[in-house]
A and B are shown apart, each in its own frame.
Chain A
Amino acid sequence: AQKVTQAQTEISVVEKEDVTLDCVYETRDTTYYLFWYKQPPSGELVFLIRRNSFDEQNEISGRYSWNFQKSTSSFNFTITASQVVDSAVYFCALSGGGYQKVTFGTGTKLQVIP
């Protein structure tokens, strides 16, 4: 069984602050994939980043970066210099197996205050 835990329900930051969203996952698959999705108030889920289980290299993409640590089963996501447009619900997700059923966490609501 797969499980994704996002312990932070809501976070508020002031614009231009950095913010890190936590994600802890559980899976028995040896190969799996981790994702972060953004759901703005309009409701449509938007893909942000993906990581494969066999590549723990952390990367930065624009204002987004992530920290994948297999040893602690964590996949944290950081937004640097936050902007009001970053206000949304952020979901961490996990897939594994041949058909890529995705298991989502319960989401973290981020509010960026001007």
Chain B
Amino acid sequence: DTGVSQDPRHKITKRGQNVTFRCDPISEHNRLYWYRQTLGQGPEFLTYFQNEAQLEKSRLLSDRFSAERPKGSFSTLEIQRTEQGDSAMYLCASSPRPGPTGDEQFFGPGTRLTVL
């Protein structure tokens, strides 16, 4: 399978715990995106990487959230001191080329986080 993969698919945690999600984009895709989707809503942009550089962060991404893409390949999204409001589906997407080409983003299956 050469699509975007995410791990884990589901995560249940207690409030106050830290969680980390992983995203493996499609091979050779320069751009990687994280989105959050809550029930009944469309995905909301969180952050964007071009290669290893994090170029944009949404105001939705509080100080408890951090994302990395150390070698320009896979990415991790960490949430510290989770809160019940963090419960959502976290989606990762990648796209193939830099520049404003308008290419579509390819989405992974998502990680569903439940904070108890």
Contacts and interface: CB of A to CB of B under 8 A. Distances in A.
Contacts of B42: 4, 91, 93, 104-107
A104 B108 contact: no
A35 interface: yes
B49 to A, nearest CB: 10
B45 to A, nearest CB: 5
A50 B40 CA distance: 23
Interface string B102-116: 111111111000000
B45 A103 contact: yes
Contact of B100 (A31, A35, A91, A93): A31
B44 interface: yes
Interface of A: 4, 31, 33, 35, 37, 42-47, 50, 52, 91, 93, 95-107
